[in-house]
A = this chain, B = another copy of it.
Amino acid sequence: MADTVRLGIIGLGQQGGMYATLIAKGMVPHMTIGAICDVDPARREAAAAQHPGVPVYADHVEMLESGDVDAVVTTVPHYLHPEMGIAALSRGIHALVEKPAGVYTKQADELIAFAASKPELTFGIMFNQRMNPLYQRLKEIVAAGEIGRVLRSNWIITTWWRPQGYYDSSAWRATWGGEGGGVLGNQAPHQLDLWQWICGVPRSVYAKLGYGVNRDIAVENEVTALVDYGDGVTGTFVTCTYDIAGTDRFEILGDAGKIVVEDSKRAVVTRLRKPEVELSAGMDMGDVMRLFSGEVDLDTLYTQETIELGSAWGEQHSGVLENFALNVLDGTPLVAPGADGIHGVRLANAIHLSSWLGQEVPIEFDDQQYLDLLNERIREEGAFAAREG
């Protein structure tokens, strides 16, 4: 068995450049840079200068067929993730797609179905936050039932501040035709993924969105969504890109405990001594008065553990790259299988669709209706071609 995966990087922008640096610095065991591809001559020059000896391509198909790479990562605009993923897999090249897995469910589903037809190839997605040890621990705690059945979850994630200069930096940014949306597709996919990874996939969504709030852009940069998981379980998700002193606060209430995460770094985990309904059955209003006046030893009701876990710059991305390489080499299970990418795309689309229709929409919405309404926006914008189904 080879002990190294040669990665082809498609797109040497901010993310691609970061991955090249991590690999070149030896921070990713079992991975080397096989080749770099970029359509921009200036970036190809930079690649050659920064990574001497690494083959550089202008065309990704040429790179895929060169024999220089065992796998690729697609650090390209969102719309291209599915087609480049399929281009690689169809040539026997393992594919790690950047998030999101696509702009709309039809194209993400197509990629995922194609990958499923190639089970011998590794298909992953760059959900680097799944490597955050804090969220890994919280997922374990919830999955093990330590806070009971999840009844409600609420995330405010507004640490995605982006100034006008960011939006002006590329013609495709924050457009319907070039990027396919705003904060839901670009900044918040990590939280849309972690939320569903830990708390499950909702059944329906009702959302209010703001488009171009305080920014000269067409797409959403403000989201307030209310989701329904069935059986009375709800959640809310709030994000925006204009809160310079941003909030990152995630609360999960279970019927036997609770988790409150601040800044994706610290979590307070409350574990009830008994299921809440049993605590309730044994107490009356006198107990409530004693409880709130501090006369009850809280330790008789619950324990609270503060967990602080972080990761240094690059560790999460290196971790996904290494895990992907190990899956290629020895079948180590993927932390972020590519097929999981559909959940974030579907939820982001459902949030858009609810806003566009002004009503609650099921998570299994009409994919073609979504694409038709997206294309309406692309045509109105007039800068990019509409997408084919």
State A214–B279 Cα separation when bound (angstroms): 11
Rounded to whole Å, the gap between the CB of A340 and the closest CB of chain B is 26
A24, CB-defined interface residue at 8 Å:
no
CB interface residues, A 253-287, toward B, < 8 Å: 253, 255, 258, 260, 270, 272, 276-277, 279-285, 287
Q: Which 10 A-B pairs have the closest CB atoms?
A: A165-B284, A163-B283, A163-B280, A166-B285, A224-B234, A214-B277, A210-B232, A245-B270, A226-B226, A208-B234
Known pairs A206-B226, A222-B232 / 13 extra A-B pairs, C-beta < 8 Å: A152-B222, A161-B291, A163-B287, A165-B283, A208-B226, A208-B234, A215-B280, A224-B236, A226-B236, A244-B272, A244-B276, A245-B258, A359-B359
A243 contacts which of B208, B253, B277 (Cβ < 8 Å)?
B253
A378, CB-defined interface residue at 8 Å:
no
A304 contacts which of B213, B235, B245 (Cβ < 8 Å)?
B245
A228 contacts which of B169, B208, B251 (Cβ < 8 Å)?
B208
Would B163 and A244 count as touching, CB distance under 8 A? no
Nearest B residue to A160 by beta-carbon distance? B288
Would A236 and B238 count as touching, CB distance under 8 A? yes
State A284–B272 Cα separation when bound (angstroms): 47
Point out the residues of chain B lying under 8 angstroms from A224, CB to CB: 152, 226, 234-236
State A226–B238 Cα separation when bound (angstroms): 11
Would A302 and B156 count as touching, CB distance under 8 A? no
Q: A212-224, CB under 8 A of B: which get 1 and which 0?
A: 0111000000101
Where the two chains meet, the residues of A that have a C-beta atom closer than 8 Å to any C-beta of B are 151-152, 154, 156, 158, 161-166, 168-169, 206, 208, 210, 213-215, 222, 224, 226, 228, 232, 234-236, 238, 240, 242-245, 247, 249, 251, 253, 255, 258, 260, 270, 272, 276-277, 279-285, 287-288, 291, 301-302, 304, 358-360
Point out the residues of chain B lying under 8 angstroms from A272, CB to CB: 244
Nearest B residue to A206 by beta-carbon distance? B206
29 pairs from A and B in contact (CB 8 Å cutoff) = A154-B236, A154-B238, A156-B251, A162-B288, A163-B279, A163-B287, A164-B280, A164-B283, A169-B285, A206-B206, A206-B226, A206-B360, A208-B226, A208-B234, A210-B232, A214-B280, A215-B277, A222-B232, A222-B234, A224-B234, A224-B235, A224-B236, A226-B236, A236-B236, A242-B255, A244-B272, A245-B302, A247-B260, A249-B249
Nearest B residue to A257 by beta-carbon distance? B245
Point out the residues of chain B lying under 8 angstroms from A156, CB to CB: 154, 251
Would B276 and A242 count as touching, CB distance under 8 A? yes
Tell me how many chains of this kind the complex includes.
2
Point out the residues of chain B lying under 8 angstroms from A168, CB to CB: 284
Rounded to whole Å, the gap between the CB of A164 and the closest CB of chain B is 5
Rounded to whole Å, the gap between the CB of A75 and the closest CB of chain B is 16
Point out the residues of chain B lying under 8 angstroms from A208, CB to CB: 226, 228, 234
Point out the residues of chain B lying under 8 angstroms from A304, CB to CB: 245
Point out the residues of chain B lying under 8 angstroms from A238, CB to CB: 152, 154, 236
Known: A162-B288, A213-B151. A302 touches B244 (CB 8 A): yes
In this complex, which of A228, A236, A249, A255 has the most chain B Cβ atoms within 10 angstroms of its Cβ?
Answer: A236
A255 contacts which of B214, B236, B258, B359 (Cβ < 8 Å)?
B214
